[in-house]
Structure 1
């Protein structure tokens, strides 16, 4: 039972009734007011929300509008459950972002049919989003998805006053590798490097992406310079440890990477600072290559 549903209603009897109807359909969670519902969704986004339209304090309409403004929650489908049968209420719910509307008293067959339909649509949409966000060769985040998540993390770090560290990595002399071993072997090399980088991204918030060709990036939210330097060293060592032969390399007898490191504490959510972080990591990568490759460097000149 992989799907989850959040039932939100200030009437606990209604929650219990719908829970009995939906037993075995999905994993169920419950909230009795809007703020609690948002808190639970931010902790663990559900696949579907059954939302009472009118509750004391924060109404279901306001909850739905809040979901649309949150990039993490905006794709969660919402079915309004209400005692009103007027068309105006249904239109208001749909305008707020709901995907469907069920009136009370709830009909079990109708509830099950609409819930299953929305869970099926959500599953297909999630799969399409996953395919659009993932680099098909390595399974890492592609450039577009990586930069999207980077912007989101940037805003979080700006809000909380935390450091953000960015590593940019290139496979050394990759064109020579492709010319010597062929493109299928080159693909296998990139997959191996991707796995090495994944192995050093230890926390759930750490993100590894393939930016294109032989270029990779590692995003480390809430990580200062010392922490970033430690991860950069682990990245270089992890690829060295694979001992993938590279007879045509001008640097070593095996595949190596060069890594550029930059760290920043965002002062605001503006993207100008984010672009500056990107540029600093790129310049550090260029320095690492100029110093002989198979190493990491920070833009400040610290290297190993």
Structure 2
């Protein structure tokens, strides 16, 4: 396994000897990050390169392990990061306190290398399984792009970010035109294939990490574009509309086009303090229905900035 793919372990201890022992024990199998106090631990845990698991000393000056754990659990970024306490405290009451506060396990000093390695390995297995389940829960099984749950988590986060920075945020609703007629006449298997092709066009247009294309439900998709003005957003979705039409998916039962098409409605605004992210989907949905009523295979956009 390359160093880039190895699991990252943050070791937090105010004693240099303990840091050295654990680092030497783990360095061959994991990427080890060291911190000598609670402040450093939080900085490293909340960085752009966070750890997969944290080994945290309980007894430290200034900020003890219990306080660090509390701050980790309060933060959205690290609330699910497993924390294993490393401590010389050996009473049942001390262990119960740590577990009640959210620690996943206890490793007592002095360290026993086989036990340390086994417990870390077991917890990292659980981490990988949780990530796999989260991935399955956040992606649409048919189209293999993010699902509505994924969108709802993302839009809340990006709304708050753009609100703090007073930046525009754009949202598009996409609906496949005359899809009931397509399913009724070509069958649901053909309909599933068509949806996967449309999803492929939409997702391939998304390039930035903050952007998101998701299946909203049925034949509807949503495109989230933070920090994107109305001109840029409309240009992107108009290109998507054209590329879907250029797929030339035969639809002889459509009253508007011999091929499968999509209608798109969108909105751009700057989040305010009195409204919420729901205004995005409501406004984009209204624009999408205007596109449908106006003849379909079109883009209708509202710039509310």
Question: Is TM more than 0.5 here?
Answer: yes
Shift of 1:261: 0.8
Shift of 1:7: 1.8
Aligned to 1:41: 45
Deviations 1:231-255 (A, max 9, x none): 2223213323323222222222222
- Of residues 282, 286, 298 in structure 2, which corresponds to 1:283? 286
Q: Secondary structure at the match of 1:201?
A: coil
Q: Secondary structure at the match of 1:235?
A: helix
Taking a change above 3 Å as real, the CA distance of residues 60 and 231 of structure 1, as seen in their structure-2 partners, is farther
User: What is the alpha-carbon distance in structure 2 between the residues aligned to residue 148 and residue 229 of structure 1?
Assistant: 24
**Counterpart check, 1:67 vs 2:72:** yes
The number of equivalent residue pairs is: 299
Superposed CA RMSD in Å reads: 2.1
Taking a change above 3 Å as real, the CA distance of residues 163 and 57 of structure 1, as seen in their structure-2 partners, is farther
Aligned to 2:83: 78
Q: Tell whether the 8 Å contact from 1:50 to 1:80 is kept in structure 2 after alignment.
A: yes
Greater shift, 109-118 or 175-184, is seen at: 175-184
Greater shift, 259-268 or 56-65, is seen at: 56-65
Aligned to 1:113: 118
Q: Tell whether the 8 Å contact from 1:45 to 1:76 is kept in structure 2 after alignment.
A: no
Aligned to 2:271: 266
Q: Secondary structure at the match of 2:276?
A: helix
User: What is the alpha-carbon distance in structure 2 between the residues aligned to residue 160 and residue 58 of structure 1?
Assistant: 32
Taking a change above 3 Å as real, the CA distance of residues 220 and 245 of structure 1, as seen in their structure-2 partners, is same
Q: Secondary structure at the match of 2:22?
A: helix
User: What is the alpha-carbon distance in structure 1 between the residues aligned to residue 134 and residue 11 of structure 2?
Assistant: 25
Greater shift, 197-206 or 17-26, is seen at: 17-26
**Counterpart check, 1:178 vs 2:205:** no
- Of residues 151, 157, 162 in structure 1, which corresponds to 2:156? 151
Deviations 1:172-206 (A, max 9, x none): 11112112221111111111111111111110111
After the TM superposition, which residues 166-245 of structure 1 pair with which residues of structure 2 at under 5 Å, given as runs? 166-245=171-250
Where structure 2 has 5 or more consecutive residues not aligned to the other structure, the ranges are: none
User: What is the alpha-carbon distance in structure 1 between the residues aligned to residue 223 and residue 16 of structure 2?
Assistant: 46
**Counterpart check, 1:295 vs 2:298:** yes
Q: Secondary structure at the match of 2:135?
A: helix
Greater shift, 250-259 or 97-106, is seen at: 250-259
Q: Tell whether the 8 Å contact from 1:283 to 1:299 is kept in structure 2 after alignment.
A: no
User: What is the alpha-carbon distance in structure 2 between the residues aligned to residue 97 and residue 86 of structure 1?
Assistant: 17
Q: Secondary structure at the match of 2:259?
A: coil
User: What is the alpha-carbon distance in structure 1 between the residues aligned to residue 243 and residue 137 of structure 2?
Assistant: 28
Shift of 1:300: 5.1
Deviations 1:120-143 (A, max 9, x none): 111112222222221110112221
Q: Tell whether the 8 Å contact from 1:197 to 1:238 is kept in structure 2 after alignment.
A: no
After the TM superposition, which residues 22-33 of structure 1 pair with which residues of structure 2 at under 5 Å, given as runs? 22-33=26-37
